[in-house]
Every structure is written in structure tokens, then in C-alpha cells.
Chain A
């Protein structure tokens, strides 16, 4: 019944805001740049919220500001020492970012006047403001943030548009095709693959298509446990709004505060709790995408179909090269009745990995299970706040004695697994016991809920740390891979060692932080996350050195049988290894899809291929 009606009518029938109202809101957006989760709330040159950051207070103690996180407002007494010890960094040697964007540095906007006229006619809001454009010219790779702090991008979007619905997107794509312009879709802007960087050689006008105003849940189908959501919604809003109806998607990537549904689809995202809810490819029931050829979608919303290769898989991971994802039907689940964190200490990393493997083998992984190596354990320890209560470390008091003496755990070798159980209470407790029993077999020792919870909290906070490091000549980044179980240990050891070696060879004067954690378990392997940071004092071109080392680390991963990426995607950062990863023919298959769907390369961000 709906198919003959206009989009506006259809929305009205569904009881959503009328298009007119949304148009108004769109104009409002143009005036004030953004609404909730928008850019005035966020740092322009770093990660996350403006009010949340690590600082050193007047006493020289580390502190995390703001009230958004549990760590907020707390003093971290041992953190300074850890930084100094780990990086050889000194608080006296500080480098500061530019305070604000220098508008004069910003490349001028290339304008296609005819397009602008047509655009005005659609009443879709847009902006050519320098700050708006710069904000959408980058993701969160180290070099991108570094450029923001100290330089300027050579090419940035010429205009930002804010469609508020699917039809707006259709119009924008049509106009872009008509005038042969370049569209780069922009969701949460959390990419770490250089996916958002504008190709320098792009001469056409570049339109940054910001999906942030397409953020409504269109409907919820409780019978089938699905919800249709506009693709611009960011993770935390989605969960919040679904929670109002008693549901959740359970998809929680570490970036979920800022990343968008459309972005997840475009990069093949993975969430922390995939063991229960699945990764994005398991969650998605239907995708609607606007391409230069037209709209691609399926005729029904079914759990599975055998109709040739799944066209969703052309879309998932397409990284904005084929079109704009506008609406996604996603599986939902009732909000779990009970959640419980937990942690286990292992005498060493090898035993920890062996335990995770066993858990995966028995298919009894909790919602999340992660294993951090000793360096990250030490780091977590360094972030222990002054106030006791919930943040007491298990290393304190008796427990410390028990672990280090009785059990023969060496604090410089031991490692920790953090756990998150979800479900109904009884089952959670049962499940918990099963996992702890397995852990015991591998010399594991339960280390309390608090440590587990703290571990997950740190996941969100750790991203803020880079900005602090940048102030003190420390640069760093994380990267990930997936690897078969039997190669996990070798890969972790070799990649960490390779990083240390490369640093030495490239003249890095202080030993780097090179640490990893196993963040996801599967039947056949695991996802491994690396953190890598070093003090770059004495190096003239730190970003270049950094990139060389990161590249070497990736080579090492590939040589150890790891994948090019588990969930960050390829973007432009990892393109060089695509051929090796999926073979010539594989690459050709992707290219031919691109050629058919977008022959004029309207979606010209040059990712992936």
C-alpha cells in the first residue's frame, strides 16, 4: 500500500516528523552547524567530546576531565610515572596544537554554480563554511589528526550537505550525476583507514554528504524483532532510543558513541558483543542504498535467501565507493535482564590464549571476552584512580600477595582477560561458572568484576589518550587483524617484536609501547588488536617514521597469516595490499561492480580499489 505514495506521505502515515518540519530543522542545522552529537560538542582536532580529556593538573597529576565517563574528574596518581617510564616522555617537553582552525589556510571551495542553484531548489541544507568542510575532511588516523594540529589538508570537501531522508539523498545523487560531481558520504567521521580523506587530484567539486540528520528509527517490528533505521543514526542514540521500547541491537563497536549505522555497514563493522548478537553482516536484514544507477534493495525482509550472491555483500564493506546507505533494517533483541562483568588473571599470555581458544571451541564465549597482554595490563593499572571503592585493583593488599606469591604469578608476565556476560540472571551465572571452570584449567584466577568493568570502560577512554600523548611528543595508533587460532601467539609476538625493531632501526630513541590484546574469538580464529606508540623527540618527520613502522607491522601481520583488516576496513591506508589479499581476479570482480554501479566515479573517495 505504501509503494504508490510519496516519501513525505509515507513518513506522515508512519507518524514521523513531517518533511516540512525536518526541512526547518535542516535550516537550523545550517545555522548552528549541527545538532546533537554535532561538531560543536566534539573536538575539532582530536578524539571525542570537547569536555573529556586527559590533562596534567597543577600538582602534575594526571586527571580525566568531564562527567561523561566513570573516570571523569578523577585523579590518576600513577599515570604520570607510567608515561615517563614507558615512553621516556617528560612533562617539560610539551608541544601544543594550534588553538583553533586558521580559516585562511583552508583550501578554497570549488563551486559548480549550476549545481548550487539546483541544490537550493531542493531546499536541502548545505554549508560552504571552512570549519564545516574541514571537520568532514578527515577521520581519526594519526596523520590526519597530526595535520589538523600542525598543518592543513591539501584537498577538503567543497560543500557539506545535510539530507534529512532517503529522498533527499536520491536528489543529491541525481544532481551530482547531472553535474558530474564527486560525493563522499560522511557518517560519524571515526574512520581509521584514511577513508574520508579527499583524493588530492580530484578536480570536480566534492560534496560531503553528511548523514547525521537521517537519524530516526522509522519503525520497530516486535513480531519479527527488526527495526528499520535511517543510516545516519549514531550508535549510542540508536541504543538509547531502542532501549525506550525495551530493545537493543547489541552492536557495540568501540566507537559506538560517534560512529553511525551507515558507517558500520560501509566498513563491515564488528561489535564488542558479537558473540551474542553477531557482527554487522549477521545483524542486517535489509539495506537500501542510493547509487548513481538508482536504488538497490531487496523485495522482502527475510532472514536468509538463496538468490545468487548476496547483494548485501557488495554493499557491506564498499566503503562509500558505490553509493549512500540510507535505510537499514536491523535485528533487535529485548534488552538483557542481567549483565555481569568479570576478569581472569593468567600466569602468562600463552595460557590466556589457550584458554580463549578452549572457550571458543566449547562455544561458550560470553558476550565479550578479551585478553590483554602484560603491557596493557600495566597500562590499565596505571590508570587506577586515587579513590578506592569500585576502582580497587586486584593487585592491592591480600590479592596482590595471593597472585604474585601463592600462585607464582609474575606481575611482569601475567595477563588479564576481561569478560562480559549478558542474559537472564540464572543463565548468566551458569555461564559464568562454565567459563571460570575452563579458565582454572589454564591456570586462570578469577580477579573480580571491577577489573572487568574497568577494562571495558578503558576501551572508550583509551581513545582520548592519544591526544594527551600528542602534547608530549608521543604518537600512537591502534590497528587490528584476524588470524587463525594456531597462529595467534606467533603473530602477537612477531608483530610486537617487529615494531620494536623497526623503531630502533628508524632511529626512534625510546623504546616504543608495543602491546596487543585478543578482542574477539571465533570458531576458527581470533581478532587481535595492537596498540603502538612511541616518543618521537629527536625525529624530524615523525609521521613518516610512524607510517613506515605501521606499514612494516602490517607486512608482518600478513606474513604471519593475519588478515589485512578484521573490521577497520581498507580505505586508502591499506589499499596497497588489496591485490595480495583477495587476488587479481577478486579485485577485478569488485572493480566490475564499481564500473557498473558508478561508471563516472561519482562516489570518488578512491577507497578500497
Chain B
């Protein structure tokens, strides 16, 4: 038995089903007496009988007749076509194949996995449910192992094998495909949007299976394997098919069973990372699978399968569905679901996914990955352990379901994670580092790629945490984005983020406020924030938590900004998704090569697609269906507006591109009259010591200077000034003054003294400075230093804007009140020739 793990919620206990397999004969197991319980004493039915029932059904016959009429073909030909579709699709469950599978899978699973842990109570509930009403199994989808494992599990517990809706690309795998089919899988084409016959046959097939209750139906709400381990937004097609028999009251009820399958190590992890980076995915083929046998020698840790409480569709629908549309049209006619039905289907889909998330087991490694990704390139081992332990507590507070045996010390947990994932990270000299050094001597591009690969693989594990963290974390991000701590403002930022990330994370539709409140509640619970009637603000104690959470989601905030920026500036023409992905990938890749961003995750095609679809939903990108696929059109202005929302964020990270100057914060320090040149040190600890309120108002708050700054190059400055030899004295003075604080960009000294001139030429006389509109004289207030050009990275001679210094004169009487903007006077002094503006 597997010991009960510490969780914050009451959850079932797990049992390792492989344990017994290791002790007794697989063959005997495969040949065991298999008499699965079925729906209310129904007698089993041959798959062929089902097929002919489907073919003869009113639904399919209706569509056949319709098509025959429209295309002027004989119904027989279309009927034949339907038969072919059905053959291609239909399952042929045979006990022999099932037993063969049971035997082989036992062998393979024992080889691959340490343990396969299942909640027994869930299986018992499932057993009851199967007898009561038709059952739909809705597992999470992270790996091809999912449905093999689930069938294996059901066989082990003597339950009817599910009929699985699997992608048709499996059919490429000749032998395995056929075996799968005999084990009960049926196949649907990935896309059959236009083919009415296919849809009719497929839908009727699923519904027949469901109505008759021959076997549970199994499919993946996510539609495909999530390459990022984040739950994908649900697809509604299959779900609405399986719900229809209930809507039409052909069945009394239908049970939907959310199943969470979590892998300590995902079989396809590196494959996914390649895929996300745009290296094409190998087509599933038998030889591919055979090659995959190589991985058999590898260890993939533990699988946790949590079979959730069966959810009664009838209970969900109670009071929500208007019955009229189904009463007034014969039930066999194809009918577009009404709006409330569609909305209901979508709600149910999200609810099921949220249930999957709730019961998804998180391994310690998930915590390690989350911590590590915030501390690249290397992290001290002890610190990693400490942070991991801290994160464990936080995760449990947030309701995460962590697998962490009571007696397991943190060090061991982290170490065992590192061992299992030695392909991702390793311990070197007391530091944990990512394994991104595949080829040391590679070109820059190669290095970026290797690093991206490692980051994405690591992110796959951190992502498992995001599903649980997203609500409190987005509140944390919103707190930093919002201009104040006022609740409405924080909420409006939260709501904005929720909309932007609606495809990235799973949110139940339309309950933004509830999500916000939940996020606030969880943050309050872990003492990270305090709330009053009007305000939400981080506590002193909780600032660590808040910044951890927002750092956790920073790759998404930054990545989306990059992608949005690209769309708003570069994508002038209409484009397809096929054009968009490589283009935006190139764009990000170049930035990474230049070192002007660190956001490797923006390379992920998953994020790129989600960002695009978020813009579509926000109305900033128009999606049009064209004969050759979807065409996107960017509304640049709208995208810029969305970007502006982000830019309010204090979180936004400066980075350079062709269109915008990078962002910095300005640090204010008084200048010592004659200081020794020893203050060229780390500015992190510097504080705003200015007492001048006006100064604060004008220059903004204190912050951190950018680490990428390169110190002013003395020789360059000298070279620039060479031809001004007679003014050397002035320039030398300038240099000397500046040397005390070489990074300065602004000198503030209202009234007294004057600007620090860079040249003797082109200095204004008193008459050159016009009076203020109020009639008072203008006097010097501050000057902008040429160093700013370096920071703004517009320092290439001759090509960029340039100045020696910009001197700003303002009204001596400070007229104009506090709030309105006034036009001030600026004097531009260059190194060579001057002009005024």
C-alpha cells in the first residue's frame, strides 16, 4: 500500500497497481476471468451489430438522403461511403486483443514506471456509475500513455473497456493501430469540419455506444496532448455529442468522470520541447514506436491516476436548459445547438477541466522546477531546498495536491527529482544548473536553441503548478501592475490579465470577480496580502510571496508583450497561422541572440498561438475564414492599446527593439561636492534620499538600474570632442563632474548655479531664453545628459539622434498649478554646432 500523502484537501488514498504485477504472473493476469460490470444488466452486443444499427439509424439515413439529393448521387453510393467511414472508425473489441494488451502493457509499464498509483475509491465509484448510467471518461491528456494506461486500469479493476475517441493519425501505426482498435479504440479524424456524412456517422456512432451503455466512452477534452503540461482550453465538439442524448432525453442521465493522470516524468518531454520550438513532430508510426523502445531502459518515475467523482449531467443541467427546441423538432434531425446549450456545454467543459486540475497530483520536482526557473543560470543547492520547501507550503495553501510522503525530507525529495530528471538539470559544485550545454562550441543561435530547449522542458514541470496558482498569482501580478492599491484598480488589472491569458490558463467562463476573490482569499490565507474595504496591499511579510508569484508568471507577461509588440509593428499584412508562428519565432530568436530579452518561453509555439487567439478574442485581431484556411488581420492600434495596459506594469522589463526605447527607472541621488571616485558600485542598495518633493514628482520613484548597462566609454567621448580643442577646459570640467557618477542622465539643480556645459559653443544668453507665458523669467531647472543616449541604445554616431546636453528652463514662479502641463523651454547644446528648438 502507498501511504497517504499530506494534502490540504481530503482526497482518496492511492494504491500502486504495479505492485501486484511485480509479484505475480502477468500471463495469469492477462488470462484472468474478465467479466466487466455493464450498464443495468444489458447483454453485450457484437460490434458489427452496433455498426449496422448506426448505419440504419434515422440520423445517418437522413443525412444520406439529404446528401444524395444535393449531390444528385444515388443514396447507395453514399451509403457505401458511410460504411467505409464506419469501418475506418469503428472499434472491433476482441477479448484476445485485450488480453494481449494486458500482458504486453504489464511488461512495458513495469519497465517504464516505478509505480502506477490509483485511487481505489475512485475506481469503486466508477464501477457503481457504470452500472447506473452511461459513463463518459474525461482524462487529462499529457501523453500517449494516457489511454493505454486507462484501458489497462479498467481491465485490472474488471470494468468494461472504454471506447476511445482517438486521433486518426494512429491509423498510420499499422499493427498497433489495429490492436488498439481491437482493444476498443475507435478513431475520429482530427478535422472533418466540412464533411457532413462523416460527422453524422461519427456522432451517431458515439451516441449509439452511449445510449446503449455497451461501454464507457472515453475522450480528451483537451483534444490533443498538452505539450506544456498546462491544461489546454477544452474542445466542445465531442462533449456536445455525448451530452446530446441526455438533452434529448434518450438517456435518463450521463455521468461525466474527470480523470487526472499525472506523470512524474513525461515520456514525450523532449519531443514536446522540440515541437514547441518548431522542429517538426515525427509522425506516429510503428517503427517510431519501436524506436521509442529505447526509452524503455529509462526510468519515468511514478504515475498518479485520480479518478474523480462522477458528475451527473442531469444535476448540472437542472434549471439551465430550455427544453423547447428539442421538443419541437424530430430528434433524429441534425439540429444546431441553441445558444444556451452551447454555453452550457462550454461551462461543463471548463468545469470538468477544473476538476481534473484540482485532482492532479504534483510531484516535488514540479516545485523544484518552479524555483529553479526563477534562479537561472545556477542556484545554490541548499537555497533550492529551502525555497522548494517554502513553495510546498504555499502550494498546499493554494489547494495543490502534492505527492510528498510525510517522512521524506526535503533534501531527498529534491535529490530524487534531480536524479529522475538528470536530463534537464544537474548538481554541479553545490549548484543546480540546467543542462543546456549540449555543444559548448556552438554558434550563438545554437546556444540559444539549447538553452530554450532546457528552459521549455523545465517549464513543462513548473507549468503543472500554474494551473493551481493562476488565480492568486494573477492577483499578485495585478497588484504590481495597478497604479494604486485600490481594489477596483487591482481588479481591473486582474480582469485584463484574465482576459489576455484566457487561452493560456483555465478559467471558468464569466466569473472574473469570483476568480479575483478566490485569488485574494488565497493570498490572504498565506498572509501575502491584506485587504480593507477599498484596498488590497501586500503585507511586509508577504512581499516575497507576491514577487515570487509574479516572477512565476513573468515569462507569460513578457512573452505576450513580445508577441503583441511583434504583431503591432511587424504584421502589417494579413497572415495565416502558418506564417505567423515561424515569423514571430524568428523575431524572438533574434532578440534572444542579441541578448535584448531573456524570455525564452516566447519561442514556444503554444504561447504564440495562445497570444494570437487572445488578441482575436479581445477583438484586436480579426480572424477570417478563407477557402485556404484562416486569415488574420491585425488592428495595430488595438494591439498597441493592449500593450499599453501591460506597460503600466512596473513589472515590465526593459528591452530594446526598433520601435520603442527601453524602459528604465531613474534613481535620484544628491551629488557630493568633491567625492572620491569610489561610488561606481552596485546601485541595488541605493535609495531615494532626495527630500525635494517637487523633484520626486517630476522624476518619479526610485528603482533599480539595468544590469546590462555598459559604463560610459571615456575614449569615445574624447574622440567626439577632439576637434573642439580650444574648449578642452570646459569639456574636461564636464568630464570631471560626470566621472563622480558616470551613469547619470539628469542633473537637477533648480535656480542656483547653472547647467554643466559640455562645450563653450552655443551657450544661450539670457535673451535667448524666452519668458514664461505668465511673463516671469525662465530659469535653469535641470539638464539631460548625453549618457541617456547610451541607455537608450541610440548611440551609433551619425545615424541616431544626438546631443551634448539638453538644458531645460522653467518658470521662475512655478506658475500653472500642479496638474496641468506647461510648455517649457529646452536648449540643445551639441558638441560641435548648436541649434535651438
B326: nearest chain-A partner, CB-CB:
A561
Report B311-349 CB contacts with A as 1/0, cut-off 8 Å.
Answer: 000000000000100110011000000000000000000
CB-based contact A490/B249 at 8 Å = yes
> Within 8 Å CB of B252, what residues of A?
493-494, 497-498
A487 B249 Cβ-Cβ under 8 A: yes
B330 contacts A560, C-beta separation under 8 Å:
no
For residue B321, give the distance in angstroms from its CB to the closest CB of chain A: 8
Set of chain B residues within 8 Å of A111, measured between Cβ atoms: none
Chain B 764-806 interface 0/1 with A at a Cβ cutoff of 8 Å (1 = within): 0000000000000000000000000000000000000000000
How far does the alpha carbon of A491 sit from the alpha carbon of B331 in the complex, in Å? 13
With a CB–CB cut-off of 8 A, which chain B residues contact A498?
A: 252
Q: Is the beta-carbon distance between A559 and B323 smaller than 8 angstroms? A: yes
Evaluate contact between B249 and A560: CB separation under 8 angstroms. Answer: yes
Q: Is A486 an interface residue (CB 8 A)?
A: yes
- B250 interface contact, C-beta 8 A: yes
**A256 close to B (CB within 8 Å):** no
How many A-B pairs fall under 8 Å by CB?
Answer: 22
Q: Verify A491–B249 contact, CB threshold 8 A.
A: yes
Chain B nearest CB: distance from A409 CB in Å? 16
Whether A527 sits at the interface, judged by CB under 8 Å, is no
Complex Cα–Cα for A60 and B326 (A): 51
Closest residue of A by beta carbon distance from B324 = A580
Q: Does A558 contact B (CB under 8 A)?
A: yes
- Bound together, the chains give a CA A559 to CA B323 distance in angstroms of 6
* Distance of B418 from chain A, by nearest CB (Å): 52
Nearest CB in chain B to that of A561: its residue? B327
Q: How far is the CB of A150 from chain B (nearest CB, A)?
A: 33
Q: How many whole Å from A52's CB to the nearest CB in chain B?
A: 38
Interface string of A483-499 (1 = CB under 8 A from B): 00011001101100110
Interface-centre pick from B326, B327, B330 (highest chain A CB count, 10 A)? B327
Expressed in whole angstroms, the minimum distance between the Cβ of A538 and any Cβ of chain B is 25
Q: Does the CB pair B249–A486 fall under 8 Å?
A: no
Contacts of B250 in A (CB 8 A): 490
Which residue of chain A lies nearest to B41 when distances are taken between CB atoms in the complex? Answer: A413
* Shortest beta-carbon distance from B254 to chain A in Å: 12
Of all chain B residues, which has the CB nearest A484?
A: B330
B331 — which chain A residues lie within 8 A by C-beta?
486-487
Cross-chain contact B330 with A486 (CB below 8 angstroms): yes
- Interface 1/0 per residue, A544-577 and B, CB below 8 Å: 0000000000000011110000000000000000
Q: Which chain B residues numbered 276 to 329 have a C-beta less than 8 Å away from chain A?
A: 323, 326-327
Cβ of A561 and Cβ of B330 under 8 Å apart? no
| Nearest CB in chain A: distance from B312 CB, A | 10
Which of A494, A497, A558, A559: most chain B CB closer than 10 A? A559
Closest Cβ of chain B to A353, distance in Å, is: 15
Question: Given A558-B323, A559-B323, A494–B249 Cβ distance below 8 Å?
Answer: yes
A99-119 contacts to B, CB under 8 A, are: none
A457 to chain B, nearest CB (A): 34
Bound complex: CA of A498 vs CA of B252, how far in Å? 8
Residues of A with C-beta under 8 A to B248: 490
Within 8 A of B (CB), among A439-470: none
Report A549 CB to chain B, min CB distance, Å: 15
By a CB distance below 8 angstroms, the chain B residues around A493 are 252
Q: How far is the CB of A258 from chain B (nearest CB, A)?
A: 34
Residue picked from B248, B252, B326, B330, most chain A C-beta under 10 Å: B252
Residues of B within 8 A of A494 (CB): 249, 252
Smallest CB-CB separation from B331: which chain A residue?
A486
Q: In this complex, what residue of B is CB-closest to A494?
A: B252
**B11-44: contact bitstring with A at CB < 8 Å (1 yes, 0 no)?**
0000000000000000000000000000000000
Nearest residue (CB) in A for B58 is: A486
CB neighbors of B among A276-326 (8 A): none
Query: Separation in Å of the A128 CB from the closest CB of chain B?
Result: 47
For residues 246 through 263 of chain B, which have their beta carbon under 8 Å from a beta carbon of chain A? 248-250, 252
Q: Which residue of A lies closest to B250 (CB)?
A: A490
In the complex, what's the smallest C-beta–C-beta distance from B373 to chain A, in angstroms? 49
Contacts of A558 in B (CB 8 A): 323, 327
- Nearest B residue (CB) for A583: B324
Chain B minimum-CB-distance residue to A493: B252
Task: State in angstroms the CA–CA spacing of A37 and B248 once bound together.
Answer: 47
A413 (CB) vs chain B CBs: closest residue:
B41
Least CB distance, A111 to chain B, in whole angstroms:
47
A557 to chain B, nearest CB (A): 10
Give CA–CA (A559, B331) in the complex, Å.
Answer: 13
User: Among B248, B249, B330, which residue has the most Cβ atoms of chain A within 10 A?
Assistant: B249
Q: Mark B702-719, 1 if CB is under 8 A from A, else 0.
A: 000000000000000000
Which chain B residues in 221-269 approach chain A with CB under 8 Å?
Answer: 248-250, 252
Taken together as a complex, chains A and B put the C-alpha atoms of A321 and B250 apart, in Å, by 38
Q: Which B residue sits closest to A562, measured CB to CB?
A: B327
Residue-wise interface mask of A (82-111) relative to B, using a CB-CB cutoff of 8 A (1 in contact, 0 not):
000000000000000000000000000000
A558's nearest neighbour on chain B, judged by CB, is B323
Measured CB to CB, the nearest residue on chain B to A556 is: B249
CB distance from B79 to the nearest CB of A (A): 22
- For residue B327, which residue of chain A has the nearest CB? A561
Residues of A contacting B323 in the complex (Cβ-Cβ under 8 angstroms): 558-559, 561
The interface residues of chain B lying within 8 Å CB-to-CB of A490 are: 248-250
A559 pairs with B330, CB closer than 8 A: no
Q: In the complex, A490 Cα to B252 Cα: how many Å?
A: 8
Shortest beta-carbon distance from A412 to chain B in Å: 11
The residue of chain B having its C-beta at the shortest distance from the C-beta of A483 within the complex is B327
Chain A: which residue is nearest B318 at the CB level?
A555
Determine how close the nearest CB of chain B comes to the CB of A586; give it in whole angstroms.
Answer: 13
Q: Note all chain A residues with C-beta closer than 8 A to B326.
A: 561
A583 nearest CB across to chain B (Å): 10
Give min CB distance, A91 to chain B, whole Å.
Answer: 33
* A13-35 Cβ-contact flags toward B at 8 Å (1 or 0): 00000000000000000000000
Residues in B neighbouring A559, C-beta threshold 8 A: 249, 323
Q: Mark A190-207, 1 if CB is under 8 A from B, else 0.
A: 000000000000000000
Query: How distant is B243 from chain A, measured CB to nearest CB, in Å?
Result: 14
A497–B248 Cα distance when bound, in Å, is 16
- CB-nearest residue of chain A relative to B330? A486
Whole-angstrom CA separation of A487 from B332 in the bound complex: 11
Minimum CB–CB distance for B222 against chain A, Å? 31
| Bound complex: CA A102 to CA B250 (Å) | 51
CB-contacts of A491-524 with B (<8 A): 491, 493-494, 497-498
- What residue of chain B has the Cβ atom nearest to residue A560's Cβ? B249
With both chains docked as a complex, state the minimum distance between the C-beta of B252 and any C-beta of chain A, in angstroms.
5
Give the complex CA separation of A559 and B326 in angstroms.
9
User: In residues 558-609 of chain A, which contact B (Cβ within 8 Å)?
Assistant: 558-561
Bound CA–CA A559/B250 (angstroms): 11
- The answer for the CA separation of A490 and B248 in the assembled complex, in Å, is 9
Please, how many angstroms separate the alpha-carbon atoms of A293 and B50 in the complex? 64
A458 to chain B, nearest CB (A): 29
Closest approach, in angstroms, between the C-beta of A498 and any C-beta of chain B?
Answer: 7
CA distance A498 to B133 in the complex (A): 13
Q: Give Cα A486–Cα B58 distance, bound, in whole angstroms.
A: 11
**What residue of chain B has the Cβ atom nearest to residue A496's Cβ?**
B252
With CB as the reference atom, state the residue of chain A lying closest to B133: A497
Q: Determine how close the nearest CB of chain A comes to the CB of B305; give it in whole angstroms.
A: 30
Bound complex: CA A296 to CA B323 (Å): 38
List of A residues within 8 angstroms of B330 by Cβ? 486
Chain A nearest CB: distance from B344 CB in Å?
14
- Minimal beta-carbon separation of B775 from chain A (angstroms): 74
The interface residues of chain A lying within 8 Å CB-to-CB of B327 are 558, 561
Min CB gap B333→A, angstroms? 11
3 tightest CB-CB pairs across the interface, nearest first? A561-B327, A560-B249, A497-B252
Could you jot down 12 A-B contacts, CB within 8 Å?
A486-B330, A487-B331, A490-B250, A491-B249, A494-B252, A498-B252, A558-B323, A558-B327, A559-B249, A559-B323, A560-B249, A561-B249
Query: Told that A490-B249, A494-B249, A561-B323 touch, could you supply 4 new A-B pairs with CB distance under 8 A?
Result: A487-B249, A491-B249, A558-B323, A561-B327
